[in-house]
Structure 1
Amino acid sequence: MIYKNLNVLDVINEKWLEHTDIEIKDGSILNMGKLSGVYEDFSYENCYMIPGLIDCHTHIFMAGDADTIGSVQSMNTTDYVLLAIKNLERHIKSGVTTIRDVGGINHYDIELKKHIKNGELLSPDLYAAGKIVTMTGGHGYFIGREADGETEVRKAVREQLKAGADLIKVISSGGVLTPGVDVNAYQFNIDELKAATEEAHKAGRKICTHCHSTQGIKNSVLAGIDSIEHATLLDREGAQMMAEAQTYMVPTLSAVDNIVKKGKDGGIPEFALKKGIDVYRKHLNSFRLALEYNIPIAMGTDAGTPLNYHGDSPREILLMVENGMGVLEAIKTSTINGAKLVGIDDKAGSISIGKNADLVIFKTNPEQQPETLLTPLQVIKRGRHIL
């Protein structure tokens, strides 16, 4: 199939390639330029094509209910699996062709991967973390693997690797959604984080960490963790550390934004709403600090948290733009930057010969009208039309 005469975004060089043809064969991009041959498709002529989006922080077993903990604790296995299948479909129809799930339930995420690879589900590519690893009583303990001390943390990470995890998720600070924990307090100590990082890296896996607290961010950088999710209370010293170590930030602006803007009337528990309001402005300031220090950023939404729905990932791009990032740079965080963080930039994240044909087409130019990102004309996954 040859798609004729499109405007194609080169995310690496941040420029549009006008009047470009794209040839797809066996799910990959075979050729680009001025092409001719059989099976030419002019349906999307003069439209705008970008790489498939990558959401680096999702929770596919959560629905975005106001009371996330209560909802999770009331579900059974069938509920979890059916919900995840629906959420995966919502993601891909929104233009997201790859996701990381960074906090699954009972390794169901790892089991679902088998069905995705077999083509049985309408889904983005899924990179699954299995169970989060957290200290006893730490943030997310109700869905995680509790562990204390260097030795036990090593074992907990090894358990996730044994189960087939693609990456490891640890907890470095308190969180908004766990009652009784302080977002300002760090949780795992540096020796525990270093042990987790060593186990992940020697197995060839990336490691990410949930972290709000200022000290927790610094501990995570010192431990060699690959990405800090949220990084809500970043200060200048921490920003300098992240920039020098090239530690990724996955800001998840959507998470707190939805809690603050929808929470009062949306039924979010009072303890979570209060913590969300307390950190909201600090979170935005941390994001702007990351821009100032040129910290590498990859897009992630925290989809599944309160009133933060799967299928809304493009809104995270709009939030980044609203808070000071250029449109093309925001798209870059959601494509090639995400691919680099996941470790798949050899096959995804940009429109290049030899890479997967994971593509999104829009009627109008998303650089000029960013809201266009919310309404894709067509999503293509490995050469297959989704819409």
Structure 2
Amino acid sequence: MGHPSRQDQEPQHRGHVLPRLGPGAPRPGHDAAALPGRSDLRVVRQQRDAQRENLSRLDPARSEGARGSVRGTAAAGPRRSALGVSLAAARPLRRRGPRRVVAARRREGVDVRREGGGAVSLTVLTNAFLIDCTGTDPLGGAAVVVEDDRIKEVLPNGRVGPLPGPVTTLDLKGATLLPGLTDAHVHICAVEGNITDQHRYLPPSLLAAKALRRAEECLMQGFTTVRDAGGADYGFREAIEDGLYPGPRLLVSGHYISQTGGHGDKRRRAEWIPPIDCCIGMIGSIADGEAEVRKAAREQIRRDVNQIKIMASGGAMSPSDELDTTQFTVAEMRAAVEEAQAVGKYVLAHAYSDGAVRNAVAAGVRSIEHGNLIREAAAKAIRDAGAFLVPTMVTYEAIYREGKRYGIGDHQIHKINLAREQSVQGLTYAYRAGCKIGSGSDLLGDMMVQRAVEFELKAQVMTPMEVLLSATRVNAELFRMSDRIGTVEAGKYADLVVVTGDPLRNLRVFQTQDNLKVIMKGGRLYKRTL
């Protein structure tokens, strides 16, 4: 990545290697942990109603029927005339026919782009401390001009020339402006903490409703594009694109593909039944042999997924395998890769162990998920293949501390801890090898509120700027969307986040939702509390 590592010592193969994040001398650029009883990791509990309270300020009609109390919600600034327009459904990325669902207009953020008449809408963000995530140094006093859903101009000197028509101006007063954050490993359908059993208790309709609420929560954390790594089908993507529900730009994988008894096989030891294929959500397609894997991949492609997800090793949450095993042969995985490549898509692989990662890379997999147990050989294989590693460090910390209260079993917690203890080690090997490192979270259920803690954990190895780049520019390259998202540059989607404080000095600023003052996706304001 071009910067020296934060760890000078060689990684150890034994013992607990995750540095404690609690009391004592704080690391440079970090605050001490804030919550009593959680001294080794700051866990931020955000309130769903705080999101609705903010949207209520943008549309008073929303406030009626809001449930629960709101704690710590930032006070809204003076109401500006441009916010008086009616709410509008989010513009889809593809042009389609006229909207038939008017109810969507009650759920989306303020459309500063105006509606109808073909009039060009302009929004100017001024007095910004700009971190554009191109890799250049931050700029103070910068300005960004947004035209409809795109960034029209970036002005380092902050001088905005004459603009035609009505203009909405947001004075950031020195707050930090960044591209919208991205997450390469989410599961919006992991609506409960114990995903092994949620399909046994939730009907599909309730699961779908909860999943869409998880997507909304993700957007309100500042994440404007995410890759769902298994569970969500194209219907969730379409619901967000069509403006039926607010959420991030969603890249779906559909059913993940697993071997019998593999990480995607939800059957317990005593369940001598056919593979579970009952419903939407965290359910996989079970396939054995090249022919079955090829057919399973083709079926997911038929269902219009953005990418294919396979299970190349054991996993922590699966009931009948171990973390350090290999799953699928190289030939089986290559069958999925060939089918994906034939239609311009790619494969991501769940893989922990050194052997599993090397097998996946040999099969042509583009994106390695987790990789906690890798050593130098696997790290070099990832680098040499031009593949990506997506660590998901925060989920192990969260499940290790909170898993039991969600009903997660002792065997699964044991596997979680094994992965947790080697998270920093695996990332260090990849970093030193020069791998392209993306950013993911893999959080489940209510633990998803801790998504931004991932940045702080990565900063044990990477510099703060590299952490931000992994969650913006690098993920955009992984998604094959570098021409549309990932940096603040003219011509790209107006996906923008404004946060108080300087993330290069303190990555914890993202962990407090009140610090997020502006969230814009595709030129549409979803939050504005300046």
Give the CA deviation at 1:248. Answer: 0.6
Which among 69, 74, 77 is matched to residue 201 of structure 2? Answer: 74
Contact 2:251 2:306 in 1 (8 A): yes
Counterpart in the other structure of 1:35: 160
| Distance change in 2, residues 1:60/1:290 (3 Å) | same
Contact 1:92 1:124 in 2 (8 A): yes
Indicate the RMSD between aligned Cα atoms, in angstroms: 1.5
Which among 130, 141, 157 is matched to residue 8 of structure 1? Answer: 130
Instruction: Measure, in 2, the Cα distance between the counterparts of 1:126 and 1:265.
Output: 30
Instruction: Measure, in 2, the Cα distance between the counterparts of 1:40 and 1:159.
Output: 46
Which among 352, 360, 371 is matched to residue 497 of structure 2? Answer: 360
Q: Give 2:470's aligned amino acid.
A: T
Q: Give 1:329's aligned amino acid.
A: E
Give the CA deviation at 1:64. Answer: 4.3
Instruction: Measure, in 2, the Cα distance between the counterparts of 1:3 and 1:265.
Output: 44
Please give the TM-score of this superposition, normalised by the length of structure 2: 0.70
Q: Which blocks of at least 5 consecutive residues in structure 1 are unaligned?
A: none
Select the structure that is richer in helix: 1
Contact 2:261 2:320 in 1 (8 A): no
Q: Which blocks of at least 5 consecutive residues in structure 2 are unaligned?
A: 1-122, 267-282
| Match status 1:342 vs 2:467 | no
Contact 1:254 1:308 in 2 (8 A): no
Which among 350, 363, 369 is matched to residue 223 of structure 1? Answer: 363
Please give the TM-score of this superposition, normalised by the length of structure 1: 0.94
Which among 116, 133, 143 is matched to residue 240 of structure 2? Answer: 116
| Distance change in 2, residues 1:358/1:217 (3 Å) | same
Give the CA deviation at 1:236. Answer: 0.9
Instruction: Measure, in 1, the Cα distance between the counterparts of 2:170 and 2:387.
Output: 43
In our comparison, the structure showing a higher alpha carbon Rg is 2
Deviations 1:239-263 (A, max 9, x none): 1111111211110001212122333
Instruction: Measure, in 2, the Cα distance between the counterparts of 1:280 and 1:163.
Output: 35
Counterpart in the other structure of 1:325: 462
Instruction: Measure, in 2, the Cα distance between the counterparts of 1:98 and 1:379.
Output: 12
Q: Give 1:254's aligned amino acid.
A: V
Residues 15-34 of structure 1 aligned to structure 2 (within 5 Å): 15-33=137-155, 34=159
| Match status 1:238 vs 2:378 | yes
**Please, which moves more after superposition, 274-283 or 158-167?**
274-283
Give the CA deviation at 1:275. Answer: 1.1
**Please, which moves more after superposition, 222-231 or 108-117?**
108-117
| Distance change in 2, residues 1:42/1:359 (3 Å) | closer
Counterpart in the other structure of 1:379: 519
Q: Give 2:321's aligned amino acid.
A: V
SS for the counterpart of 2:145 is: strand
Instruction: Measure, in 2, the Cα distance between the counterparts of 1:373 and 1:14.
Output: 21
Instruction: Measure, in 2, the Cα distance between the counterparts of 1:254 and 1:14.
Output: 28
**Please, which moves more after superposition, 375-384 or 186-195?**
375-384
**Please, which moves more after superposition, 48-57 or 366-375?**
366-375
**Please, which moves more after superposition, 185-194 or 30-39?**
30-39
Give the CA deviation at 1:368. Answer: 1.3
SS for the counterpart of 1:60 is: coil
| Match status 1:313 vs 2:451 | yes
Q: Give 1:16's aligned amino acid.
A: P
Q: Percent identity?
A: 28
Q: Figure out how many residues of one structure are paired with residues of the other and give that number.
A: 380
Which among 373, 392, 395 is matched to residue 252 of structure 1? Answer: 392
Instruction: Measure, in 1, the Cα distance between the counterparts of 2:202 and 2:285.
Output: 19
Counterpart in the other structure of 2:178: 50
Counterpart in the other structure of 2:8: none
Residues 288-299 of structure 1 aligned to structure 2 (within 5 Å): 288-299=428-439
Give the CA deviation at 1:225. Answer: 0.4
Q: Give 1:216's aligned amino acid.
A: A
Q: Give 1:56's aligned amino acid.
A: A
Contact 1:193 1:223 in 2 (8 A): yes
